Amino acid sequence: DSGVTQTPKHLITATGQRVTLRCSPRSGDLSVYWYQQSLDQGLQFLIQYYNGEERAKGNILERFSAQQFPDLHSELNLSSLELGDSALYFCASSVGREGEAFFGQGTRLTVV
Amino acid sequence: GDSVTQMEGPVTLSEEACLTINCTYTATGYPSLFWYVQYPGEGLQLLLKATKADDKGSNKGFEATYRKETTSFHLEKGSVQVSDSAVYFCALKGGYQKVTFGTGTKLQVIP
C-alpha cells in the first residue's frame, strides 16, 4: 500500500459526460501529480500541484481541469468526455526534491 | 524542458539472461533519477533511485548508476526471472519537483 488513495477504482460513463476523479495523497506529502496512461500514449503527465498551487502543466486538455484543496486532496475533472479519454488515470504524491513519487492504484475510466 | 528517453520495447529475454534498459535524460540543474516498475494490472512502484552524480541505486538485483557526464541512468540486472516481467519506467525529478517519465519499456521473460 503506497498510502495514496484514488477513488473510484473504475468508472464507466457516456460520451459528453463529466466525471471527477479524487486523490488523497500520503500524509505529509505536499505535491500531487496526475498522469494519464493509455495503451497507445504511454504515461502522460497532466498536471502537478504543490501545497494548493498549480506548479507544472503537461499535456492536459482544455476539457480537463484539476485543483488541490486546503486539506491537500486533489480532484481531476474531465468534461465533454470522448471515447479517446478512456484510460487509466494515476495520481501520485511526493515530498521534497529527493523524495520519490508514490502512486495510487489508478482510476480506470471507460467512455462508451 | 525536462525529458527522459528510454529504449523502445518490448524486450524479450530468456530466464537468467542479462538485462540492460537504456535511459538518458535532459534536465537543467541536478535532478534526482528513478526507475519505477509496473506489474500487470497494478500501479507504478519505485524500484530504485539515485539523487546525485555517481550514486548507484539498487534493489531486487537491479542496479542503475547516475552518470552525469553521459546524462544516463541505465537499468541493469545480471540474471532476470519470469517474475521480472513488467513495464519499467525511467523518471527524473527536476525543477519545481516535477516528475517526468519516459515512455516505458515492456520486459517479457520467458522460461
Question: How does pLDDT run across B15-49, given as a tens digit for each residue?
Answer: 999 999 999 999 988 899 999 999 988 889 999 99
Among all residues of chain B, which has the CA nearest to that of A37? B103
> Which is nearest to B74 in space by CA: B98, B43, B50?
B50
Which chain A positions have a beta carbon within 8 Å of B51's beta carbon?
98
Query: Could you tell me what percent of chain A has a pLDDT over 70?
Result: 96
Q: pLDDT category, A107, cuts 50, 70, 90?
A: very high
- pLDDT of B106 reads 93
Cell of residue B64, nine digits: 542503475
Collect all residues of chain B within an 8 Å Cβ-Cβ radius of residue A102.
46
Q: How many angstroms away from the CA of B24 is the closest CA of chain A?
A: 17
B60-70 mean pLDDT: 96
Nearest to B105 by CA among B15, B8, B24: B8
In this prediction, residue A40 has a pLDDT band, given cuts at 50, 70 and 90, of low
Tell me phi and psi for residue B95, to 5 degrees.
-60, 145
Residue in this structure with the C-alpha cell 527536476, named with its chain if needed? B94
State chain A's mean pLDDT as an integer. Answer: 92
Contacts of B104 in chain A (CB under 8 A): 42-43
pLDDT band at A2 (very low <50, low <70, confident <90, very high): confident
Chains A and B form CB pairs within 8 A to the count of: 63
Chain A residue with CA closest to B92: the answer is A100
Cβ contacts (< 8 Å) between A100 and chain B: which residues?
32, 34, 46, 49, 93
Report, as an integer, the average pLDDT of A3-15.
96
Nearest Cα to Cα of residue B111 among B4, B8, B13:
B13
Give pLDDT, residue B1.
Answer: 82
Beta strands B105-110 and B99-101, pairing class: unpaired
Question: In which residue are the cell numbers 474531465 written?
Answer: A78
- Tell me: pLDDT of A93 over 90: yes
A1 touches chain B (CB under 8 A): no
**Rounded mean pLDDT, A16-37:** 95
